């Protein structure tokens, strides 16, 4: 199941990395991974827990449900839930779709999606990187499924495409904390290098999940 999960007792937990902190180097340094995972992601989890504990009506809901139904979240904690549930879901995906054994050309169903929607992997990478470069300030760049069509979009801050009814197949974090220790202000260099650690098997799992959830839709 390619999603962040609520702990049985209710509070959300920081998921462990599925690989060693330094195993994505040199693409992403060990120090970057330690700070990004242990500090930034942990903060999103802590703040989401605080918002949920303070709001009994949110008990038992997954982070995905919360961000898909923000209008139902009390206004007093809506912004906190949007930012921190988004941050939790986004980062849980981010860790999962990278691997020290990643990189190379896509395989399986995602390869077919990329070819049919963007013509070629090279064209897809160019458009994905361009969208990431153009995102002003902090945010994310995504490949999303939108009513059966596949599109590249970017979102500000920790907004997840689920907010607008799109399903995130894959995404890259373009907040400076994701790359600054290694790449400084060279976001384009980070975006280009990131493909060396992309885990196509995990992305295919997300694509299968989307297809299974939407089988027979329309």
Reported as a pLDDT band with limits 50, 70 and 90, residue 10 is very low
The stretch 190-211 carries a mean pLDDT of 98
**Residue 46 has which token pair?**
């802590």
Strand, coil or helix: 171 = strand
Average per-residue pLDDT in the chain?
A: 94
What's the pLDDT score for residue 42?
Answer: 95
Give the domain extent around 67. 30-96
Domain match, 84 and 119 both: no
Assign residue 201 the CATH number of its domain.
3.55.40.20
What's the pLDDT score for residue 3?
Answer: 53
Domain match, 134 and 86 both: no
Query: How many structural domains are present in the chain?
Result: 2
* 6 falls within a domain: no
Among candidate residues 116, 121, 113, 97, the one with its CA nearest the CA of residue 172: 97
What's the pLDDT score for residue 119?
Answer: 98
Q: What are the pLDDT digits (tens) for 126-174?
A: 999 999 999 999 999 999 999 989 999 999 999 999 999 999 999 999 9
* 131 falls within a domain: yes
Assign residue 88 the CATH number of its domain.
1.10.287.990
The stretch 178-190 carries a mean pLDDT of 97
Residue ranges in 63-199 assigned as alpha helix (H): 63-68, 75-96, 108-118, 121-134, 180-183, 187-194
What's the pLDDT score for residue 218?
Answer: 47
Domain match, 178 and 119 both: yes
What's the pLDDT score for residue 6?
Answer: 45
* 8 falls within a domain: no
> Of the ranges 8-12, 112-116, 142-146, which one carries the lowest mean pLDDT score?
8-12
Domain match, 127 and 165 both: yes
Out of 42, 70, 96, a domain closes at 96
Out of 53, 70, 96, a domain closes at 96
Q: What are the pLDDT digits (tens) for 53-88?
A: 999 999 899 999 999 999 999 999 999 999 999 999
The secondary structure of 103-136 as a DSSP string is -SS--HHHHHHHHHHHSSHHHHHHHHHHHHHHS-
What's the pLDDT score for residue 214?
Answer: 84
Domain match, 36 and 133 both: no
Domain match, 139 and 180 both: yes
How many CB atoms are located within 10 Å of the residue 54 CB? 12
Please give the backbone phi and psi of residue 140, each rounded to the nearest 5 degrees, phi first.
-140, 155
* 43 falls within a domain: yes
What's the pLDDT score for residue 211?
Answer: 94
* 102 falls within a domain: no
């Amino acid at each position: 199941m390619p999603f962040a999960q609520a702990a049985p007792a209710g509070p959300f937990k920081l998921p462990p990395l599925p690989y060693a902190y330094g195993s994505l180097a040199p693409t992403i340094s060990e120090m970057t991974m330690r700070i990004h995972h242990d500090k930034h992601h942990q903060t999103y989890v802590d703040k989401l827990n605080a918002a949920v504990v303070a709001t009994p009506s949110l008990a038992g809901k997954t982070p995905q449900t919360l961000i898909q139904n923000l209008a139902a979240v009390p206004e007093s904690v809506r912004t906190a839930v949007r930012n921190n549930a988004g941050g939790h879901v986004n980062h849980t995906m981010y860790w999962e779709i990278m691997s020290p054994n990643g990189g190379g050309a896509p395989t399986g169903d995602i390869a077919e999606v990329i070819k049919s929607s963007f013509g070629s992997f090279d064209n897809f990478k160019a458009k994905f990187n361009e969208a990431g470069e153009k995102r002003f300030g902090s945010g994310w760049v995504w490949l999303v499924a939108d009513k059966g069509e596949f599109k590249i979009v970017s979102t500000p801050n920790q907004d997840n495409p689920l907010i607008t009814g799109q399903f995130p197949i894959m995404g890259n974090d373009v907040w400076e904390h994701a790359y600054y220790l290694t790449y400084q202000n060279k976001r384009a260099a980070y975006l280009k290098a990131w493909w060396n650690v992309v885990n196509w098997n995990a992305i295919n799992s997300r694509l299968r999940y989307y297809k299974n959830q939407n089988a027979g839709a329309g």
